[in-house]
Chains A and B, each alone.
Chain A
Amino acid sequence: MTMDVAIIGAGPAGLSLAIGLAKSGAKVAIIDEQPSPGGQVYRAAERNADATDLLGWLGPDYAKGAALVAEARQTDGITWRMASSVWDIRPEEDGCELGLLTAGKTSVVRAAHVVLATGAMERPTPFPGWTLPGVMSIGAAQTLFKDSGLLPEDGVVLAGQGPLLYLFAAQLLAAGIKPQAVLDFAPKWAAPSNLPLLARATLGAAPQIAKGLRLRAEIKRAGIAHHYRVERIEAHGADALDRVTFRHKGGERHIETSLLLVHDGVISNTHASMAAGCAHDWDGEQAAWVPRLDDHGRTSRDRIWVLGDGARILGADAAVLQGRIMARSIARDLDPTTPQDAGRDQSDRKALQRLATLRQFLDRQYPPVPAFSQPPDETTICRCEAVLAGDIRALVRSGCMGPNQLRAFCRAGMGPCMGRQCGNAITRIMAKEAGREVSQIGHFTIRTPLKPVSLAELANLEDADP
């Protein structure tokens, strides 16, 4: 199959770009691991389009997803490759070759341009006991809610910080589920130094700021114990979670629960852009690696672009705007005679700037939780290979220079997740222990295959030329 543009990721960024490009006449393929489009934020939006109760509980921001997905579905010229994982991204002279895995069969898609719209993932939240069954991320629980209508029972405990913590607590309350407690690592109000930024964010994005305050008011109104400035948490249990201990206002406290949901913000999912060999930089404000991009979203590799939260966390609304802008840029690359649309470009970029100011405030208000960034020695960091924070620190002290060498010494990042889950945490722990900048420590080198692919599946390679 040979396309003008192949987009990896059918979230808001990828969908918006696909719509724009297809309308300009380009041959577009959109690829996603999920069986239906929407990404994580609009997960199962199509299937839930008429699920009135669920839509009411999840709120209007999720409901927007169904319209975007429907618009993309109705746009001619988009080839859909859902339920397909990309295991290889190979830059070629005149474009790029992607290896796909769909239901046990491998195939190849060739495209003149490849756009990585791989979105966000939750920042790793290592703390003692977080590997016990019964501890999950808040994003995971929200996915179960959207995708399968699965709800936690009363008594669930939410911990961490950030907008999703408040949003999910309010969504649970709307669905009639009462969390036992919200263990919030953030302070209740913005620090005085952050107030000017809050004022600017409010000017540009008043509805979003108002939404945040409303969500918190709903938690309070429901009478849920909401502890601010929690300092650390631990999960306990033999084979599964039964108790959470936490430090709050100088005292140790505990809660009995069988489900603890944790969240510490989201970071760009850069696994694909790293595997493609694109240059990345450490973004101090977001405490994450981000691909190095020009003003249009071009990476350091020819004909490979990144857009949406995979480029830098700005959220779903921004991803849609970025998709429109990039569609115009790529259309001009494909056909230089395409007329410029400076007016729409400018208004989209202006709207984007307002959302960027809001994000800047959120990044400063919710910097990574220190207890998760530098967890105690006994904490598992690499879940696949059971490597502890103490193992990593000991290796740094014995002279280990970076994540790639670490991998050889202790297998951290060599399990099935290939460092997706632990990479960000490992880099930060190594930097702190070595007393160096994160940018000097670097990240795991990511190589093909991006996803585990069996020899039988490779032997099944079919050329998908139409």
Chain B
Amino acid sequence: MELDATNTPKTVRLSFEGTAIEAPAGATVAAALLAADIIAFGTRPVSGLPRGAFCMMGTCFECMVEIDGIANRQACLETVQEGQNIRRMPPRIPTKGQGDGDD
């Protein structure tokens, strides 16, 4: 995906997994990652396969990332902030069939 320059008044700098990326002020974290060609936001808890933003309106929770040390943030609902530190969440791999109803 590419960002259209006509709609980018101010730039915000943030990092994803330690790599610096830039995004227009007002963009969502999910948009900032996609614009930086990051499409895998994390891994699936059960299969371990990569997942990425899907609905962009807070319904699917597929875009969850860790923002400034706080896990389970929906990247599509968060607005980019200067200096924000975004990370993939540590994988949660439950053992199927062994009563993992802890959430």
Contacts and interface: CB of A to CB of B under 8 A. Distances in A.
Interface of A: 33-35, 40, 44, 47-48, 51, 53-54, 83, 85, 104, 121-122, 131-137, 139-141, 143-144, 147-153, 175, 239-240, 259, 269, 383-386, 411, 414-417, 420-421, 452, 454
Nearest to A239: B50
A417 B54 contact: no
Interface centre among A40, A147, A383 (most CB of B within 10 A): A147
B11 interface: no
A48 B7 contact: yes
A108 to B, nearest CB: 21
Given A137-B55, A144-B56, A151 B46 contact: no
A152 B37 CA distance: 11
B40 A121 contact: no
Contacts of B60: 383, 417, 420-421
Interface string B33-58: 01100011100111101111111111
Contacts of B34: 144, 150
18 contacts: A53-B7, A54-B7, A85-B77, A133-B41, A134-B39, A136-B54, A140-B56, A143-B56, A144-B30, A147-B28, A148-B23, A148-B26, A151-B1, A153-B2, A259-B1, A269-B59, A383-B54, A385-B46
Say whether chain A's binding surface is mostly helix, strand, loop, or mixed: loop
B53 A121 contact: no
B31 A147 contact: yes
Given A143-B56, A148-B35, A415-B61, A133 B8 contact: no
Given A35-B79, A47-B26, A136 B56 contact: yes
A134 B52 contact: yes
B58 A133 contact: no
A150 B3 contact: yes
B51 A121 contact: no
A137 B28 contact: no
B62 interface: yes
Contacts of B58: 33
A152 B103 CA distance: 36
Given A122-B59, A133-B51, A417-B61, 5 more contacts: A151-B3, A152-B1, A414-B101, A421-B55, A454-B72
A139 B57 contact: yes
Given A54-B7, A383-B62, A122 B55 contact: yes
A80 to B, nearest CB: 16
Nearest to A40: B57
A34 B27 CA distance: 12
A104 B55 CA distance: 23
B53 A136 contact: yes
Nearest to A271: B59
Contact of B54 (A33, A135, A411): A135
Interface centre among A132, A135, A149 (most CB of B within 10 A): A149
Contacts of A122: 55, 59
B28 A386 contact: no
Contact of B39 (A121, A133, A148): A133
Contacts of B57: 40, 121, 139-140, 143
Contacts of A416: 61, 64, 72
Contacts of A104: 70
A296 B72 CA distance: 38
A442 B101 CA distance: 23
A150 B31 contact: yes
A131 to B, nearest CB: 7
Q: Top 8 A-B pairs ranked by shortest CB distance? A: A149-B7, A133-B52, A140-B56, A148-B31, A386-B46, A148-B27, A416-B61, A133-B39
Contacts of B3: 148-151
Interface string B1-38: 11110111000000000000001101110111011000
Contacts of A132: 50
